[in-house]
Amino acid sequence: MEYVLTTQALSKHYGHFKALDHLNMKVPKGAIYGFVGKNGAGKTTLIRLICGLQSPSEGEYTLYGKKNTSKSLHDARRRMGAVVETPSIYLNMTAEENLKHQYIILGKPSFEGIDELLNLVGLGHAGRKKAKNFSLGMRQRLGIAIALAGDPDFLVLDEPINGLDPQGIIEIRELILKLNQEHQITFLISSHILDELSRLATHYGFIEKGHIVREISAEELEAACRKCMHIEVSDIRALIRFLDKEKLDYKIISDTQADIYGHTDITDMTVKLAEEDCKIITINEKDESLESYYIRLVGGEDYE
């Protein structure tokens, strides 16, 4: 598999505090990589390092196979765009003027392509409207347009939907999917809004206290977040006997409740339990969410 970004024992220390602690991760080419962790876990520090805004204390990383110590890293980084923390836009400029300014910084010979870029991010109608009059979602899309000005094929977004209203979230989601699927842009997305991230990501990296605790594909995550049937009964021992006899995988939750994995014939189970004078009080299907999987993985409840 080809990787856009890899890190090897990457560390960043601030005095005695280890913001990154021997972090190892791999972002596959073409992926939408969801970078998940609590505040202070090291997400933004990693992003700042790969963007060249800070230097590692130890370890190394590669962009398109070029090590951070290589003289050719600059060329590899030109294939990368980023929106870190907040979009870098000039509020008193229009969207078009912001892009022209970025083109000048990049040394582009002309302003050709700006209209197409504005249309791509859904701002074709607002090219001459000053950014200070934009909604948060429009500013975020303009920030992405500026990041796209250098024609990158790797885009890093730090909390891209933070503070957006539902419509703004949908627009950013659709833009990311479009850029990934139609323009083959690889994404690294740091976000604490896990429900939304689960609608996008093809791969995940879970970071805790500066190191990756697990990397997993969306397919592997779906298998790990198994569907189950949650049942409450009057006699848990009778239920256990039935489940053991049927060789079903299950987890006892309490003296009256259990989660049953795999297919179960509910009618047959109801009849067999009734024969042992065991009543089914409630029964429902449930899925483990990305949020609950993450909490189970690292412990605690505050992932923001």
CATH code assigned at 94 = 3.40.50.300
* pLDDT tens profile 227-259: 788 999 999 999 999 999 999 888 899 999 998
The pair of three-digit structure tokens given for residue 262, joined into one six-digit string: 């795999």
Q: What CATH number corresponds to the domain at position 234?
A: 3.30.70
More confident: 261 or 226: 261
Instruction: Tell me which residue range forms the domain holding 276.
Output: 226-287
- CA 130 vs. chain centroid, Å, equals 31
When the pLDDT of each residue in the chain is averaged and rounded to a whole number, the result is: 91
pLDDT number for residue 300: 58
In a domain, 293, yes or no: no
38: pLDDT strictly greater than 50:
yes
Position 304 scores a pLDDT of: 45
* Residue 192 confidence (pLDDT): 81
**How many folded domains does the chain comprise?**
2
255-261 long-range CB contacts below 8 Å, 24 or more apart? Answer: 256/232, 256/281, 257/230, 257/231, 257/232, 257/233, 258/230, 258/231, 258/233, 259/228, 259/229, 259/230, 259/231, 259/286, 260/228, 260/229, 260/230, 260/231, 261/226, 261/227, 261/228
Task: Report if residue 295 sits inside a domain.
Answer: no
Pair 219, 188: CB distance under 8 Å: no
Same domain, 211 and 249: no
Query: Do 192 and 258 belong to one domain?
Result: no
Cα-Cα end-to-end distance for the chain: 32
The strand pair at 203-208 and 32-36 is best described as parallel
Q: pLDDT tens across 193-232, in order?
A: 888 899 999 999 999 999 999 999 998 888 777 778 899 9
Whether residue 87 lies inside any domain: the answer is yes
Domain membership flag for residue 255: yes
pTM greater than 0.85 (yes/no):
no
